[in-house]
Chains A and B, each alone.
Chain A
């Protein structure tokens, strides 16, 4: 009864095919956007920025990227960390080579470079599927991290092997570097996430998305109706890598500021968590990408709050608990709800439609 769709008639295919066909969803989303753009920038402090909002936005972007590849096109990838590293190092190289270039352009070019690398590592997907492809992408993860570690050109021959961001301004306000105010970094990420999020959703509801899903569900039938497997899979790799590359660029330039490749883009710090995000959030769901990112980013903070601040455990014990709880949740999700939080949400909506009646 709360979430009712009766009386909302669609009189055109346009309104029926809208991203938010129901008025309730439209209102909820608009409110969320208003808060995100007009309220949060004024109240955000550096803790919320560094601990929750900016990592949430960046990982949402990475999760959308991986979801395009794994959730929509069905190609399992464990190379997220490697591709994010490509985005980060591209940003660094472009930044140092062209000091006058706008940061937004740098970030987008980094995404394009990552897309090219993604196509290269996507080539094996034409021959191998499933587990074997996962292993091949795992190889790309290790290769890329090794490459950025071993070839000094990528980190401009610095002694530590670290790369450090320099200050860049957008509309007169620094968005990267140590002096960037929280609201600026937050808004910079938010604009990119909203724009790219809509772009992804649009792709998914048009021809490209349907080709991806056709390849995912039944590649033979897809070929028979004229979907070229090669082109479709490589498009998925390219677009997925673009998103992950942009996420990597933001992770380095806006969020961390200084990184060391083996530490920051390790398989355990990036690739697996992002994969967990889309599994817990929901494979093949845009909403799932965001829910998963929110869940994985806030889980350690929430657990720490409960265990250290409320129960009084030591921080080390809490950290151990956190890893166990993480693993446990993964198993529970895979068994109980393989379609993740997004599916739980749609079940909840289904219930709200009928509430308070059971049927």
Chain B
């Protein structure tokens, strides 16, 4: 299983499927028996109230958490758990809810880290920095520059990301994930804490990535307007359980979902 496996799946077919995933930390059950599939090329949203287990779900998908039980069918092959490095190699990239950028490095270097897995030169060549090593650097720099152009990051190329404002940091983090040229992009609340303009920008970026690069997107987001607008299908979690799934208009009218968000009347 490799990047090619995921690439070879036709659009609209299942890219990966989670079967009866449960995840417990001691006595705390973060996820209970959750199943859903993500089709290639779609924008798939995971929603739910705080503490519903959405981020845990993403962490299971890219191997940061090992599920207590359940199977992950990834590109046609079943496995019990993922490894972060393996997930990265198979074309899964992600962003974090609390920005996880490399604060001491410039925007450019942060994006260049997205290319690390694709750089093959050995230590000695890197130390000498000539011929193939230099060519490789330039080749990857060119790819990164495309991401910079796409996300309008030109002016902050050399700025250490620690000193950037929040909205830009979110954008740089998306850039780092895009620099990996992923097949599947996991976005953990990409619009949290943004104003309307920034949300519009971010939605535009997400949709363009989905349309132009055909990247499958799994999205966690609290802004219902955004979720209903941009996602193809939605799954709803509450207290670690799946309480609904379907197309946006189905979710909008789902009784269980409305109850989970607005609370149930006592009578």
Contact = CB atoms under 8 A, between A and B. Distances in A.
Are A and B co-members of a single complex? yes
B138 A225 contact: no
A211 B116 contact: yes
A218 B89 contact: no
B105 A217 contact: yes
A213 B105 contact: yes
A208 B123 contact: yes
B113 A222 contact: yes
B111 to A, nearest CB: 10
B85 interface: yes
Contact of B129 (A13, A202, A220, A223): A202
Most B CB within 10 A of own CB, among A207, A217, A221, A228: A207
What's the dominant secondary structure at chain B's contact region?
Answer: helix
Contacts of B116: 207, 210-211, 214, 225-227
Given A210-B105, A214-B102, A218-B101, A225 B141 contact: no
Given A206-B129, A206-B137, A225 B101 contact: no
Interface string A208-240: 101101101110111111111000000100010
A206 B133 contact: yes
Contacts of B85: 223, 226, 228
Most A CB within 10 A of own CB, among B62, B116, B117: B116
Contacts of B117: 225-226
B114 interface: yes
Contacts of B97: none
Interface in B148-177: 176
B126 interface: yes
A199 B105 contact: no
A214 B123 contact: no
B84 interface: yes
Contacts of B93: 225
B61 to A, nearest CB: 11
B250 interface: no
Contacts of A223: 64, 84-85
Given A13-B141, A17-B137, A207-B119, A224 B101 contact: no
B134 interface: yes
A14 interface: yes
A210 B144 CA distance: 14
B66 interface: no
A347 to B, nearest CB: 14
Nearest to A235: B123
Contacts of B102: 213-214, 216-218, 221-222
B84 A226 contact: yes
Contacts of A17: 137-138, 141
B180 interface: yes
Nearest to B177: A225
A211 B117 CA distance: 10
Contacts of B104: 213, 216-217, 284
Interface string A71-107: 0000000000000000000000000000000000000
Contacts, number: 100
Interface in A233-277: 235, 239
B142 A199 contact: no
Contact of A225 (B113, B128, B134, B145): B113
B112 interface: yes
Interface in A185-220: 199-200, 202-203, 205-208, 210-211, 213-214, 216-218, 220
Given A214-B102, A226-B84, A226-B85, A207 B176 contact: no
Given A226-B85, A235-B123, A214 B137 contact: no
B127 interface: yes
A216 B103 CA distance: 10
B174 to A, nearest CB: 13
Interface in A2-32: 12-14, 17
A120 B119 CA distance: 27
Nearest to A217: B102
Contacts of B109: 210, 213
B196 to A, nearest CB: 28
Nearest to B85: A226
A152 B94 CA distance: 56
Most A CB within 10 A of own CB, among B85, B109, B121, B145: B85
B96 interface: yes
Contacts of B119: 206-207
Contacts of B141: 13, 17
A13 B142 contact: yes
A203 B127 contact: yes
B88 interface: yes
Contacts of B112: 210
Given A208-B126, A216-B102, A225-B180, 14 more contacts: A13-B137, A14-B134, A14-B138, A17-B138, A203-B127, A206-B121, A207-B121, A210-B113, A213-B109, A218-B103, A224-B84, A225-B93, A225-B113, A225-B117
Q: Across chains A and B, which 6 residue pairs bring their CB atoms closest together, nearest first?
A: A226-B88, A217-B102, A221-B100, A202-B129, A199-B127, A206-B126
9 contacts: A13-B142, A17-B137, A202-B126, A206-B121, A210-B116, A213-B105, A224-B64, A224-B84, A225-B116
